[in-house]
Amino acid sequence: MFGFSVRIERCQPASTTLSIVIILSAMTIGLFSAAALFVFKGFSPLTIVSKILTGAFGSRFAWMETIAKAVPLGLVGIGLAVAFRGKFWNIGAEGQILLGAVAASGIALFAAPHLPDKAVLPMMLTAGFAAGAIWGVIPALLRTRFGVNEVVSTLMMNYVAAELVQYLVYGPWKGASQMGFPYSDEFVSSAVLPTFYGTRVAWPMLVIVIVAAFVTWFLITCTRWGFETRVIGENPEAARYAGISHARVTIILMIISGGLAGLAGVGEVSCIHQHLTTSAAISSGYGNTGIIVAMLGRLHPIGVLPAAIFLGGLLVGGDVLQTSFGMPFASVNLFTAVILLLLITGDVFLDHRFRIRRDCPASSTAVIAPSDSTCGGKMRN
């Protein structure tokens, strides 16, 4: 119709340089094109972008708040990266976070007074990991035993977990000291994670997320299980022929994935809230944002860490749009949405090439650009 037709073809993955260029330009274009919308409100895009970035990374306070958000996002993201590598689409991190929070709260509320102070936090972390892992293993079993689609089962189990939390905070665990509001009693001090002075960053959680990233990276690259996960992820048929036990691999996968989300839940109740509260307040959408973090980090446990900081920063820096410019909360979402959309769109350029073709019946083979030997700049053989 326009004289040209565009054909998209799959090709070899692009070079390192090109992927850097693509991600950087997607981020820059995303930030500025979202900011450009605020020209209508009378703000220059440059001011907006610099304010957001200053709000997220411009001071020690901002950095600490960004990290406080990046910790749960990172834990969830690492777990999801592992699951997605094995092509197990775990949409249930929200529920796994909540179960971790519930288990840790149970220990904090009922066992902590009877335990030595030093044992409380390790117990809470262990229980949180275990509870998240159990919640994650259930859909894994359903999938491997009965062929239940894990997207549906993990998603549905989020609602079950949320209802469980609501039941507890409105019912048996409702705190006598909370004047009838839906919160459990405040945790005793031995059940509260220590933080860097004057911040909301619990240093044990920061250590855990970094260790978790390196340990899962090691597991994926250097163990037999990691190899099997990759084989299942790349080619399930080949994995079956090679005699890899799909069930065993998937269950270990979900123990890690659910367990890490559970740990994120422990961090939230034990550091941020210091009591069990309503389900939406605990998970704060980290289970869903974690999916984006895992994708941005290219399913690489180490890559997830900067991705979590970036998204944490965007959420934290977004405050400034409201406090300094008086813009509505929705504008914060606009930023995250535009940037993520562009980042994900940018992916296409990594392993696809675009061929523009002139619609000319007489000489239908005329290829305008790029030539056959290029694939997004460089061809690998």
Partner 1 sequence: MRDRNSAISFVFVFTFIFVTAFTSVFAQENPTVAATASNQVIVKKIKAGFIYVGPVADFGWSYAHEQSRKALVASFPWLESAIVESVAESDCARVIDRLIVEEKCDVVFTTSFGYMNDTLKAAARYPDKSFLHCSGFKRAKNLGTYFAELYQLYYLNGLMAGALTKSGKIGYVAAHPTPEIVRHINALAIGLREVNPRARIDIKWLYSWYDPAKAREAAESLITEGCDVLAFTEDSPAVVQVGQEHTAKGKPVYTFSHYSPMQKYGEDSCVSGQLVDWNGLYEGILLQMYAGVWKADDRWWMLKEGAAKLGASPDQCINPKFVEPLKKAEIQDPVLGKVSVYDLIFKRVSQMSEPGVLFDPFTGPLKDQAGKERLKPGERADQNALWTIDWFIDNVDGTLPR
The CB-of-299 to partner 1 minimum distance in angstroms stands at: 7
Query: What span, in angstroms and rounded, lies between the C-alpha atoms of 10 and 353?
Result: 6
Q: Does 273 bind partner 1 (CB under 8 A)?
A: yes
The CB-of-9 to partner 1 minimum distance in angstroms stands at: 19
Please say which residue, 172 or 243, places its beta carbon nearer to partner 1: 172
Among 109, 311, 320, 334, binds partner 1 (CB under 8 A): 320
The helix or strand, by DSSP H or E, that contains position 226, with its residue range, turns out to be: helix 224-234
- CB 52, CB 272: distance < 8 Å: no
The CB-of-359 to partner 1 minimum distance in angstroms stands at: 35
Q: Does 336 bind partner 1 (CB under 8 A)?
A: no
Residues in the chain: 381
Site track for partner 1 across 278-317, x = CB under 8 A: x-xxx-x------------xxxx-xx-xxx-xx--x--x-
Angle at 362 between CA 360 and CA 368, to 5 degrees: 45
Q: Which amino acid is at 133?
A: A
Query: What span, in angstroms and rounded, lies between the C-alpha atoms of 145 and 133?
Result: 18
Q: Does 228 bind partner 1 (CB under 8 A)?
A: no
Nearest residue to 351 (alpha-carbon basis) of 17, 12, 8: 12
Please say which residue, 109 or 316, places its beta carbon nearer to partner 1: 316
Is the peptide bond between 370 and the residue preceding it cis, with omega within 30 degrees of 0? Answer: yes
Report 173-202 residues binding partner 1 (CB under 8 A): 174, 179-182, 186, 198, 200
The CB-of-182 to partner 1 minimum distance in angstroms stands at: 7
Q: Does 326 bind partner 1 (CB under 8 A)?
A: yes
Q: Does 272 bind partner 1 (CB under 8 A)?
A: yes
Please say which residue, 124 or 133, places its beta carbon nearer to partner 1: 124
171 CB-contact burial (10 Å; exposed 0-12 / middle 13-18 / buried 19+):
exposed
Q: Does 95 bind partner 1 (CB under 8 A)?
A: no
Would you say the C-alpha torsion 131, 134, 138, 139 has a positive or negative sign? Answer: positive
End-to-end CA distance of the chain: 36
Please say which residue, 55 or 139, places its beta carbon nearer to partner 1: 55
Please say which residue, 4 or 214, places its beta carbon nearer to partner 1: 214
Residue 198's SS3 state is: coil
Report 64-93 residues binding partner 1 (CB under 8 A): 65, 68
Q: Does 381 bind partner 1 (CB under 8 A)?
A: no
Non-local (6+) Cβ contacts of 208 within 8 A are: 75, 125, 263
Please say which residue, 257 or 277, places its beta carbon nearer to partner 1: 277
Site track for partner 1 across 38-57, x = CB under 8 A: ------------xx-xxxxx
**How many residues sit in the footprint of partner 1 (CB under 8 A)?**
65
The CB-of-166 to partner 1 minimum distance in angstroms stands at: 6
- CB 112, CB 277: distance < 8 Å: no
Residue 313's SS3 state is: helix
379 CB-contact burial (10 Å; exposed 0-12 / middle 13-18 / buried 19+):
middle
Please say which residue, 20 or 348, places its beta carbon nearer to partner 1: 20
Query: What span, in angstroms and rounded, lies between the C-alpha atoms of 206 and 109?
Result: 24
| 18-26, 91-99, 100-108, 237-245 -> range binding partner 1 (CB under 8 A) | 18-26
Angle at 29 between CA 27 and CA 31, to 5 degrees: 65
156 CB-contact burial (10 Å; exposed 0-12 / middle 13-18 / buried 19+):
middle
Q: Does 268 bind partner 1 (CB under 8 A)?
A: yes
Residue ranges in contact with partner 1 by CB under 8 A: 13, 16, 19-20, 23-24, 27, 50-51, 53-59, 61, 65, 68, 166-167, 170-172, 174, 179-182, 186, 198, 200, 221, 268, 272-274, 277-278, 280-282, 284, 297-300, 302-303, 305-307, 309-310, 313, 316, 319-320, 322-324, 326, 328-330
